[in-house]
Amino acid sequence: MTRSTYREAIRLALATALEADSRVLLMGEDVGRYGGAYAVSKGLLERFGPERIRDTPLSESGFLGAGIGAALGGLRPIVEIMTVNFSLLALDQVVNNAATLRHMSGGQLGVPLVVRMATGGGRQLAAQHSHSLEGWYAHVPGIKVLAPATVQDAHDMLLAALADADPVFIFEHQLLYPTEGDLDPARGPATIGQALVRREGSDVSLVTYGGSLGKALAASDELAQAGISAEVLELRTLRPLDVEAIEATVTKTHRLVIIDEGWKTGSFSAEIAALVAERVFYELDAPIARVCSAEVPIPYAKHLEDAALPQVPAIVVAAKELLGRG
C-alpha cells in the first residue's frame, strides 16, 4: 500500500497496461510532449515512444474515430479527451459507431475502446470546460460509463476498462487529480457495475458519484454532529447501474438525497429517483430530494461557480428537511 495522487494512480495504470500489452496505445490532444492537460501522461512519451503515445490534431471526432478504427483493427486504444464539453464534437462517433457496431454486425465486430475525459466544475474554467455530462453518455446502450472517485478506483477502473470487450468511457472529475489516497497497485481491476457503501448510516441515504463523493462524506460528518446518521452510497458506475445497491440503501434508511453535479432537468439524478419510485416507493418515508447544479452555464467567477455547484451545506439542509429538522 502506498500514498498516491489520483493523477499518479491513473498514470501507473496506463504504464502498467502499456508495459503488459503491446496493443495498448494512448492518443489525444497534448498527451505526449506536453504530458497531458492534467499531467496524467507525463513521462509516458519518453518511456514508450511516439507510436504508442500519440499527440493528435484538435479534432475530437477525428481522433475518436481513429480510436474506434484502431480497436476494430485489433489494438486496445485509450483515447483522452481534454474535457467533457469537447467530447460533444465526437458524439456522432460515440452514438452511431462505438455504441452500435457490435449490435449492427450481429456480434461480429467489437470495439474494445477506452475513452477518458475530465468532467465537472470547481476550477474556474468557465462554461465551455466545466460541465458534468456523464449522465448524457449513460443514456446510450452499448457503452459503459465509469466515474471513479477515489485514488484506488482511478487505477483499478482503468484496468477493468481495458479488459472489457466493448467501449468504456471513464469520467474523471477535474478536482480529483491532485487529491491523495491509499493505493494498492496489486489489487487488480475493479468490478464494473458495483456500487459501494462508503459510510454506513441508518437515517438517510446520500447517493452520489465522482467528484461529489467528498462532499457527501463531509455532509455525513456534519449531519452526525446533529445526531443524524447518513449512509453514503457511491455509484462508481453509471452504466451498468447497481440498482440493487440503491434499493438496499433506501430500504435501510427510508430517505434519499441524490447529489448530482449535472443540471436537475433531465439529469442522472432523475433516473435514480424514477428507479426508486418504480421499485421501492413504499419504502420511502419522505419525498426524494435532489441536490444538483443550478440551471445555468457554469460561471467563471469563483463565488458564482461555487453558488452554481452542489455544496455541503445544501446537502445537509436537504437531509435535515427529510427528517423534519430543516
Q: What is the DSSP letter of 205?
A: E
Nearest alpha-carbon partner for 79 in 100, 104, 98: 98
Element (H, E) at 125: none
Residue of 8, 29, 80, 129 marked active site: 129
Assigned C-alpha cell, 315: 446537502
CA atoms within 13 A on the CB side of 298: 26
Assigned C-alpha cell, 319: 437531509
Is 180 part of the annotated catalytic residue set? Answer: no
Element (H, E) at 195: none
**24 with 30: CB under 8 angstroms?**
no
Distance, CA of 278 to CA of 255 (rounded, Å): 15
Alpha helices, H only, the chain: 6-20, 44-48, 60-72, 84-87, 91-93, 101-104, 134-138, 151-162, 213-225, 243-253, 268-279, 302-308, 312-322
Which residues on neighbouring strands pair with residue 168, listed in sequence order? 114, 144
Assigned C-alpha cell, 237: 458506475
Residue of 8, 60, 271, 305 marked active site: 60
Is 261 part of the annotated catalytic residue set? Answer: no
Distance, CA of 198 to CA of 235 (rounded, Å): 10
So which residues are the catalytic ones? 60, 129
